[in-house]
Amino acid sequence: MTIETLPQFALLKISGADAGSFLQGQLTNDVFQLGSVMDSIPGEEAIKDSASRKTPGWQLSAYCNPKGRTLALFYLWKQGDDFFALLDRDLVKPISDRLRMFVLRSQVTIEMLSEASICGGASSDAVADLKLPELRLNQVQHGDLLISAGVSILIVNARVLVVDPQGHEPAISDSNQKGTRWMSADIEEGIPHLGAGTSELFIPQMLNLDLLNGISFNKGCYTGQEIVARMHYLGNLKQRMFRTTIQSINEPKTEIIYQSADKVFADPELSKPVGHLVNVQGDRALAVLRLHSIENPLYLQAGTSLQVDISQPYPLEHISGG
């Protein structure tokens, strides 16, 4: 998986004396668990510091509306006294505007860093392609954060997100992929990406955020918490996200481009909707589906079916619902 630019992402900077408490009241994860990582060369000392922390250097977190529907998903981390949030490029303007509405008298500044450079790929390629110091890949783990010369390096399973707020474009081996390999890896690892079409469609648990350590059920109040907590403690969740394959039924096969938010149906007549596509790359997709439907035939449109993978990227055995 070659390092590639990720144009689907954009970067927000949230700073000020009240930035932490402000974000704590907006997001599903516990912002106060984030440690502040100072600039350091990502060599042995940085790795030791990262490994000594009991909490991740970055978090996956949801920003919800009062009804508990997910407006956006953030990769969130702290550098010095500042917070950085990576989210969908189409959502960065409306989300930053919405966040500013709730700043009121708090000492918080929210900036869109439109010049930021964002790329990603396999950890092993990052060392060679980006000319980074040796990452000692056998010593880092998912959730770690390293900082080198102001550049943030987020460890995402066996991949890295490399974010330079100053916008210095690295020389990478393949700039033509435009994030497609990263999105494919997200699908295989069951990591959702929300865009304009899927914003406000799902509560966080439908996107498996609770299985991805993207929700804290021990923190204080935040927007949408009542709905999210009720779903957790009452256990009446009826939809979950699954890894799937799109298949053509008819011959000859017709190439159809599917998009996020396309509906999934339980019948070939397309009259019984049971879910939505979340992310699509080629014939692979993440889809939020009603639990009672996943063992039955599913359809996207006439002549096209959706097959739920037998194996999923993380345990779902305990999930049940109607």
State the pLDDT at residue 280: 97
What is the strand order of the sheet 70-79 is part of? 58-64, 70-79, 82-88, 9-15, 109-112
| pTM of this structure | 0.90
Q: Is 317 helix (H, G, I), strand (E, B) or coil?
A: coil
Query: Residue type at 313?
Result: P
| CA 309 to each of CA 119, 175, 267, 275, 284: distance values in angstroms, whole numbers, following the listed order | 29, 31, 19, 16, 10
Nearest residue to 123 (alpha-carbon basis) of 70, 161, 150? 161
> In angstroms, rounded to a whole number, what is the distance separating the alpha carbons of residues 201 and 69?
6
DSSP characters for 233-276?
A: HH----EEEEEEEEEE-SSS-------TT-EEESSTTS-SEEEE
| CA 322 to each of CA 56, 59, 179, 220, 240: distance values in angstroms, whole numbers, following the listed order | 34, 31, 36, 30, 11
Contact 30, 110 (CB under 8 A): no
Nearest residue to 89 (alpha-carbon basis) of 162, 178, 169? 178
Chain-centroid distance of CA 113 in Å reads: 19
Most distant CA pair in the chain, distance: 62
> In angstroms, rounded to a whole number, what is the distance separating the alpha carbons of residues 204 and 21?
21
Contact 5, 110 (CB under 8 A): no
State the pLDDT at residue 127: 59
Rounding to the nearest 10 degrees, give the CA dihedral for residues 158, 161, 162, 163: -160
Beta-carbon count within 10 A of 128 CB: 10
Residue pLDDT tens, the chain, 322 long: 678 999 999 999 999 999 999 999 999 999 999 986 655 544 444 444 444 444 669 999 999 999 999 999 999 999 989 999 999 999 999 999 999 999 999 999 999 999 999 999 887 666 566 666 555 555 678 889 988 888 899 999 989 999 999 987 666 545 566 899 999 999 999 999 999 999 999 999 999 999 999 999 999 899 999 999 999 999 889 999 999 999 988 765 667 789 999 999 999 999 999 999 999 999 999 999 999 999 999 999 878 999 999 999 998 855 554 4
All structural domains of the chain, each given as residue ranges with its CATH number in brackets, are: 4-207 (3.30.1360.120), 238-308 (2.40.30)
